């Protein structure tokens, strides 16, 4: 398995490369954001381990640009920026996991395996309901004639709602299922993610309202009534 490490601190990079190589991974190393993004665009890596505070281009910018390119390669952020707003930003721009520094390489290996295991389960036939379909391999959603590629979190949130159409999920339930961390209940990360999904699927299409319905004061559910 080929992993791209984007890390500018030499000692940390050597530590990670040694540990991941011993775990059986093949590592490519970039020292700055621009070089890392160039390697990402060349392709050939199955996972990216990404620092945030990088020269030339920040890790958040690297991640945002690769997701805008439609590149859904799993990304684990490795950063000393551990405050909640930083972690939320990482997930909002498309990270699959966020590991704070300092860390044990054994935990990084475990998180790599967990992320790839989740990716490996995306081999089922597409999910579909009432004009909405979700390709579990390409993370592509189709809402009537509108098609869109989703980020990992957008994909996971929509898949959760599609598993139980009509069931209302609270924001806390969505946080636990999609982000796998109990965030501060006051965070609006769920609402932001839902808005992004809606903007991708609805656009200027007034004939078909969003398949995701907001239940005031409770949470979200997949709309179940048939459209007129």
Give the model confidence (pLDDT) of 137-151 as tens digits: 677 899 988 888 888
Q: What pLDDT, on a 0 to 100 scale, did the predictor assign at position 181? A: 67
| Distance separating alpha carbons of residues 110 and 66, to the nearest angstrom | 24
Q: Tell me: pLDDT of 94 over 90.
A: no
Q: How confident is the model at residue 100 (pLDDT cuts 50, 70, 90)?
A: confident
Highest averaged pLDDT of the listed ranges 102-106, 183-187, 198-202: 198-202
Q: What domains can you pick out in the chain, each with its CATH number?
A: 2-120 (3.40.50.2300), 127-222 (1.10.10.10)
Cβ atoms of 39 and 54 closer than 8 Å? no
| Distance separating alpha carbons of residues 11 and 51, to the nearest angstrom | 13
Alpha carbon distance, N-terminus to C-terminus of the chain: 49
Buried b or exposed e, range 105-141, using 16+ CB within 10 angstroms: eeebbebbeebeeebeeeeeeeeebbebbbbeeebbb
Q: What pLDDT, on a 0 to 100 scale, did the predictor assign at position 121? A: 47
């Amino acid at each position: 398995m080929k992993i791209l490490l984007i890390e500018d601190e030499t000692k940390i990079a050597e530590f990670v490369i040694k540990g991941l190589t011993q775990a059986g991974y093949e590592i490519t190393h970039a020292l700055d954001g621009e070089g890392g993004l160039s390697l990402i665009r060349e392709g050939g890596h199955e996972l990216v381990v990404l620092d945030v505070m990088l020269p030339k281009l920040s890790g958040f910018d690297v991640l945002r640009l690769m997701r805008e390119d439609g590149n859904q390669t799993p990304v684990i952020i490795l950063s000393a920026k551990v405050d909640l707003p930083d972690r939320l930003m990482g997930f909002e721009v498309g990270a699959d996991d966020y590991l704070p520094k300092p860390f044990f390489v054994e935990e990084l290996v475990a998180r790599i395996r967990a992320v790839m295991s989740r990716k490996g389960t995306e081999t089922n036939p597409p999910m579909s309901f009432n004009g909405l379909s979700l390709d579990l391999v390409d993370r592509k959603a189709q809402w009537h004639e509108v098609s869109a590629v989703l980020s990992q979190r957008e994909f996971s949130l929509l898949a959760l709602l599609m598993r139980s159409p009509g069931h209302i999920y609270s924001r806390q339930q969505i946080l636990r299922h999609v982000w796998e961390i109990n965030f501060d209940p006051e965070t609006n990360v769920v609402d932001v993610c839902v808005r992004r999904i809606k903007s991708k699927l609805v656009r200027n299409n007034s004939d078909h309202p969003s398949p995701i319905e907001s239940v005031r004061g409770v949470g979200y559910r997949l709309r179940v009534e048939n459209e007129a």
